[in-house]
A and B are shown apart, each in its own frame.
Chain A
Amino acid sequence: MIRLEKRPQPSQLWTVLTPVLAVLLTMLVGGIMFAFLGTDPLEAIRTIFWDPLFNPQFAGFTRPQLLVKAGPLILIAIGLSIGFRAGIWNIGAEGQYIMGAICGAGAGLAFYPADSVLIFPLMILCGALGGFAWAMIPALLKVRFGTNEILVSLMLVYVAENLLASVASNLLRNPEGMGFPGSRNFKQWPAAHNAELISGTGMHWGVAFAFIAVILAYVLMSRHIQGFNIRLTGEAPRAARFAGVNPARIVILCLGISGALAGMAGLFEVTGPAGQISIDFNSGYGFTAIIVAFLGRLHPVGILLAGLLMALTYIGGELAQLMLGVPGAAIQLFQGMLLFFLLATDVFTNFRLSLGRKEPA
């Protein structure tokens, strides 16, 4: 009989090994799923994980996409991971992402068609503020009334989606758009365009900010006393209060950071890859980032790698859809499975298997 035995302390080896194992398991089970869908599993796996980077035919186009997709995922996941470390579950990043985009784009459009170098920084700031403000709703409700932040932040996603539909067809609608919903296209307004920084790489300001966020988060979580307080709050809330950590401040800090980062990601997306505020410019990054955060073990460097991997499944998924006719939803399932397998294999970090006699439990 196999039993689980608690390790005296978490295994460092398994902390690194579990994501790798989870990816392999997902490939295996995903392959079986593709076989059921009538696709050659090996070909599907190759199309998703190999072709976007190395196929001479597409790689030129798909490789830059890697950074384009990974940028927002990393930026949002870094923010989420800080909160998750403290046991604060912001799962409404999608809503903060939308609100950041609306506020940042709206602030910019108010100055249309001015041409100033200050416009884009202003838009970034307003994007961050928009996401921050949206995240402050669950934060303040939690601090003031003890309301569950999971449910509130998630409900606010639906509210934000409805607001997006409203502004896209009313407030921010392109006056020259012949009545179609959707804002002006930022790609045609250089002062507000989040253009590629190095041509052909997919590198835009959002990606640069994502890298900076990774570094800052690393310093915060491993060196700074606030990062220590955040981890302490997540590990042992009572010990944190005993140490003198103010739980309300941690809630505000964590939700504030994750909201601001998600808001920025939204702004970078509408002014760059998406190009305009439209009813469905958001593509679920806010939810996928939850998977990225866990897959990266809530560690900034891990999140960087996990973000790139998840971006690869997006691009590879599109490619598989195009080349092999694999349904787009299969990729969504694929990503969900990845999280599931990660959580399952995670048990080895804190427990070891032992073969022994069964205990009458």
Chain B
Amino acid sequence: MDLGSINPILLVASIMVSATPILLAAIGEMVVEKSGVLNLGVEGMMITGAVVGFAVAVNTGSPVLGFAAAALASAVLSLSFGVLTQVFLSNQVATGLGLTLVGLGLSALIGKPYEGMKSPTLPKLDIPLLGDLPVLGRMLFSHDIMVYLSLALVAAVWAFLKFTRAGLILRAVGESHDAAHALGYKVVRIRLMAIFFGGACAGLGGAYLSLVRVPQWTEGMTAGAGWIALAIVVFASWRAGRVLIGAYLFGGVTVLQLNLQAAGARVPVELLSTSPYLITILVLVLISARGIHGAPACLGRPFHASS
């Protein structure tokens, strides 16, 4: 094994790239869960975003349009979940699973003609001064715009939940929909908006996979990233800052195992490729053993105004 072939500068840089899709999906899902809704369909929304973003980018030549279309498509798809669970009061776990299955089927159908194609990708930003810094410049300041947008989104979500009245109302709905309803807040409407936002974020995350990280379309390419995003929300105890930490830790594990594989480490390849999943399980166990704190009290519970 040749550990020397692993370049620490490139390692950190690629961690940021590899963490971004999960970070986007996880911060969106966190907002959804804060409103008291458990949407297990993140995987399905991500992969829909991946295929729609890719198809639009290939056809228009514009990755930016690809991202926009991906966000919109996944958000619209997530609304089907929203309508089912909030209006038709279906079981959230079952509907989330259904959303994932629909998303996987839909993406395979749309993506068939695009397999093996190349798409335009996002340019790396050329940040003056910062980008020229030795070491740090290449590590932190020479990425594409989405990496920075995802970080800005985390900060925005944090500030929204902590400082704004709308954020307070969103949290209140997630804590007790009955109390929020009694005070006259529109529980269903607020939750639908949160679900829509979560869908858009998952779509952006998916598009980042197919347009930047890989970048091409293959069937089932999210490979559990959506589920890992769900796990990161639990890991983060529903806090934006910790979602960031979780996503970057997870990105680190993924990149490290890929680097180890490339460096020919004396560890079976299969063990290395399962390590992200095994570590996710391990983290979930550690978090739950410590006691899960901060879960919104109404998470996953159906709400009907009459009851």
Residues of A within 8 A of B (CB): 4-6, 84, 89, 91, 141, 144-148, 150-152, 154-156, 158-159, 162-163, 165-166, 287, 290-291, 294, 327-337, 339-340, 343-344, 346-347, 350-351, 359, 361
Near A by CB (< 8 A), chain B positions 55-96 give: 80, 84, 88-91, 93-95
How far apart sit A344 and B84, CA to CA, in the bound complex (Å)? 6
How far apart sit A244 and B307, CA to CA, in the bound complex (Å)? 28
A318 CB to closest chain B CB (Å) equals 15
Do A291 and B90 touch across chains, with their CB atoms under 8 A apart?
no
Point out the residues of chain A lying under 8 angstroms from B98, CB to CB: 291, 336, 339-340, 343
A18 CB to closest chain B CB (Å) equals 11
Q: Is the interface of B mostly helix, strand, loop or mixed?
A: helix
Question: Which of A155, A329, A330 makes the CB contact (< 8 A) with B224?
Answer: A155
Point out the residues of chain A lying under 8 angstroms from B106, CB to CB: 333, 336
Q: Taking CB as reference atom, which chain B residue is nearest A166?
A: B270
A45 CB to closest chain B CB (Å) equals 17
A170 CB to closest chain B CB (Å) equals 9
Point out the residues of chain B lying under 8 angstroms from A151, CB to CB: 227, 230-231, 234, 280-281, 284
Q: A151-B280, A343-B95 are in contact. Are A146 and B288 (CB under 8 A)?
A: yes
Near A by CB (< 8 A), chain B positions 102-132 give: 102-106, 108-109, 111-112
Q: Which of B101, B234, B271, B291 has the most CB of A within 10 A?
A: B101
Question: Which of A146, A154, A337, A339 makes the CB contact (< 8 A) with B292?
Answer: A146
- Interface flags for B163-195 (1: CB within 8 Å of A; 0: not) read 000000000000000000100001010000000
B5 within 8 A of partner (CB): no
Question: Which of B40, B94, B105, B224 makes the CB contact (< 8 A) with A343?
Answer: B94
A160 CB to closest chain B CB (Å) equals 9
Do A5 and B84 touch across chains, with their CB atoms under 8 A apart?
no
Question: Which of B103, B188, B278, B288 makes the CB contact (< 8 A) with A148?
Answer: B288
Question: Which of B80, B91, B224, B271 makes the CB contact (< 8 A) with A154?
Answer: B224
Point out the residues of chain A lying under 8 angstroms from B291, CB to CB: 146
Point out the residues of chain A lying under 8 angstroms from B267, CB to CB: none
Residues of B within 8 A of A (CB): 40, 80, 84, 88-91, 93-95, 97-99, 101-106, 108-109, 111-112, 181, 186, 188, 219, 223-224, 227, 230-231, 234, 268, 270-271, 273-274, 277-278, 280-281, 284-285, 288-289, 291-292, 304-307
Point out the residues of chain B lying under 8 angstroms from A328, CB to CB: 108
Question: Which of A145, A336, A344, A359 makes the CB contact (< 8 A) with B104?
Answer: A336
Point out the residues of chain A lying under 8 angstroms from B84, CB to CB: 340, 343-344
B139 CB to closest chain A CB (Å) equals 30
Do B285 and A145 touch across chains, with their CB atoms under 8 A apart?
yes
Known: A147-B289, A333-B106. 17 other contacts (CB 8 A): A89-B93, A141-B288, A144-B289, A146-B291, A151-B284, A154-B224, A158-B224, A162-B274, A287-B101, A290-B101, A336-B98, A340-B84, A340-B102, A343-B84, A344-B84, A344-B90, A347-B88
Point out the residues of chain B lying under 8 angstroms from A337, CB to CB: 102
Do A163 and B277 touch across chains, with their CB atoms under 8 A apart?
no
How far apart sit A287 and B307, CA to CA, in the bound complex (Å)? 34
Do B270 and A333 touch across chains, with their CB atoms under 8 A apart?
no
A149 CB to closest chain B CB (Å) equals 10
Question: Which of A144, A327, A336 makes the CB contact (< 8 A) with B101?
Answer: A336
- 6 A/B residue pairs, CB under 8 Å, sorted by A: A146-B289, A148-B234, A151-B280, A158-B224, A339-B98, A343-B90
Do A6 and B288 touch across chains, with their CB atoms under 8 A apart?
no
Point out the residues of chain B lying under 8 angstroms from A334, CB to CB: 105
Do B274 and A147 touch across chains, with their CB atoms under 8 A apart?
no
Q: Taking CB as reference atom, which chain A residue is nearest B289?
A: A145
How far apart sit A146 and B80, CA to CA, in the bound complex (Å)? 31
Question: Which of A152, A291, A343 makes the CB contact (< 8 A) with B88?
Answer: A343
Point out the residues of chain A lying under 8 angstroms from B102, CB to CB: 333, 336-337, 339-340
Do B186 and A361 touch across chains, with their CB atoms under 8 A apart?
yes
Question: Which of A147, A287, A329, A336 makes the CB contact (< 8 A) with B288?
Answer: A147
Do A159 and B108 touch across chains, with their CB atoms under 8 A apart?
no
Do B80 and A4 touch across chains, with their CB atoms under 8 A apart?
no
B287 CB to closest chain A CB (Å) equals 8
Point out the residues of chain A lying under 8 angstroms from B88, CB to CB: 343-344, 346-347
How far apart sit A238 and B223, CA to CA, in the bound complex (Å)? 37
Question: Which of A158, A291, A351 makes the CB contact (< 8 A) with B277?
Answer: A158
Question: Which of A145, A150, A155, A350 makes the CB contact (< 8 A) with B280?
Answer: A155
Point out the residues of chain A lying under 8 angstroms from B270, CB to CB: 162-163, 165-166
